[in-house]
Amino acid sequence: MKIKIIGVGKLKEKYLKEGTEEYIKRISAYADVEVIEVEDEPIPKNPSLAQEVMVKAKEGRRVLDKVKQSDYMILLDVAGTELDSVDLSKYIEKQMLDGHSTIAFVLGGSLGNSEDVLERADYRLSMSRMTMPHQLARLVLLEQIYRSFKIMKGETYHK
């Protein structure tokens, strides 16, 4: 099993880097993990709708270049389906049992995702209706993936 995390932008804060490194190390006991950062597009101050569409399109192309046709793509999307940790674990396990050898989790940029990315997604997952920086969302996602594997294996993990 391989887990790919594809995120727009680089982690800058030390505490986020350390947290993501820790969860990548923990997940690697269960699956191969690859984190791919794609360049975020500069956003003009007070962008027009056309400029926002252009930014999302450029970032979207960069993201989709990293997703293979055979990857099962889960897009983090505020309008997606909310799952609790147990249901996320069951969902990931189902994809594994259905023969998907790579699950690619995609975190878009600060303006959201392009239509191409939305259309490519096999599943849209919402971590919360609350707004959070996508760098923090990456850390939370990694923790939830780790928790999912612990649940799948019936291993204890703090609740």
Give domain limits for the chain.
2-152
- Rounded to whole angstroms, the Cα distance separating 45 from 144 reads 34
Give strand pairing partners of 81: 125
- Check residue 156 and give its pLDDT: 87
Known binding residue 54? Answer is: no
Known binding residue 20? Answer is: no
Known binding residue 109? Answer is: no
Known binding residue 127? Answer is: yes
Known binding residue 128? Answer is: yes
105: tokens are 């989790």
- Rounded to whole angstroms, the Cα distance separating 129 from 152 reads 26
Known binding residue 96? Answer is: no
9: tokens are 């932008």
Residue 111 phi, psi (nearest 5): -95, -5
Would strands 32-38 and 123-126 be described as parallel, antiparallel, or unpaired? unpaired
Taking 70 as the pLDDT cut, the residues of the chain under it are 158-159
- Check residue 158 and give its pLDDT: 64
**103-142 pLDDT, tens digit each:** 999 999 999 999 999 999 999 999 998 888 888 999 999 9
Q: What is the pTM (predicted TM-score) of this model? A: 0.94
Known binding residue 130? Answer is: yes
Known binding residue 131? Answer is: yes
CATH superfamily, domain at 2-152: SPOUT methyltransferase, trefoil knot domain (3.40.1280.10)
Closest CA to 64 of 124, 114, 110, 134: 114
Distances in Å between the alpha carbon of 132 and those of 30, 44, 146?
A: 28, 21, 20
Residue 156 CB neighbour total at 10 angstroms: 7
- Check residue 159 and give its pLDDT: 58
- Check residue 133 and give its pLDDT: 86
